[in-house]
Structure 1
């Protein structure tokens, strides 16, 4: 069974826009299809909004290419079927990522957002690993949890 992974917008930026070297193994796993990367229309819309911002200086063609790449790597889940996680994030825009990981548990949510990371200990008790480590999905502790189910 492939590990279920939810990537927050800032991690997607590392993988698809900034070419962050820390994200290279994650990118390779996404390209190989060895992860069950999941998204929803809301998470796609947020990512599209962010990469369209002036600060990134991305042409419409480049934005389309980036979105095509992410959609080709990810499995789309309907926002309407998401369970509501018992933990709330102070940043409402990030709640959809939390709910998505909670719905598909055991799952990993990779995010650098401080508000999301604050709920990591509580989430782990319910089968959701929240981390800022791009490559924690490859660690034995996460692989063992997903293999047991």
Structure 2
């Protein structure tokens, strides 16, 4: 019998998705968490994206959730593939470029998704989602909200055994 397992999708998760997984245990994000734990997703993270997540986990509004930020980041480190921060380089003639996000803080997620060859960037951020057509056209990256991502890659289906 031949192993015909589908390739594991490369994905970048915006900080708001990590917060849903780590702090809120959001039902919509549970299939993503389960897929990460099972190795059914190749989540990519850069030092800049991880640092933003570290800062976000320390926001005062999350204190009441009593999250152990170090343990949360250790879990993220276990389920992600670290890559270097992408270089901010000027666009070369004929080369793909990364569309600019209105919110400069979110540019790192777009650049990472492109540079790392991610198939998906999962976000709930309106400024990021607004760039979905341009990211698809210029970078071949699907920018999608979590529910669409779960449906598209069938995380809501039971894993094949």
When normalised by structure 2's length, the TM-score is: 0.79
Could you report, residue by residue, the CA deviation over 1:84-115 in whole angstroms, capped at 9, with x for unpaired residues?
Answer: 74300011111110001111235200011111
Query: Which residue of structure 2 aligns with residue 130 of structure 1?
Result: 143
Of 107-116 and 82-91, the range deviating more from structure 2: 82-91
Which whole-Å CA distance do the structure 2 matches of 1:83 and 1:100 have between them?
13
CA contact (8 A) 2:31 2:150 kept: no
Alignment partner of 1:42 is 2:55:
no
Q: Which runs of 5+ in 1 are unaligned?
A: 142-149
Query: Which residue of structure 2 aligns with residue 92 of structure 1?
Result: 104
Q: Aligned Cα RMSD in Å?
A: 2.2
Which whole-Å CA distance do the structure 1 matches of 2:145 and 2:48 have between them?
21
Alignment size in residue pairs: 140
The answer to which structure has the higher helix fraction is: 1
When normalised by structure 1's length, the TM-score is: 0.85
Could you report, residue by residue, the CA deviation over 1:108-130 in whole angstroms, capped at 9, with x for unpaired residues?
Answer: 00011111111101111231000
Which whole-Å CA distance do the structure 1 matches of 2:50 and 2:118 have between them?
22
Q: 1:54 aligns with which of 60, 84, 89?
A: 60
Query: Which residue of structure 2 aligns with residue 147 of structure 1?
Result: none
Could you report, residue by residue, the CA deviation over 1:54-112 in whole angstroms, capped at 9, with x for unpaired residues?
Answer: 110155x7010110111110000011557774300011111110001111235200011
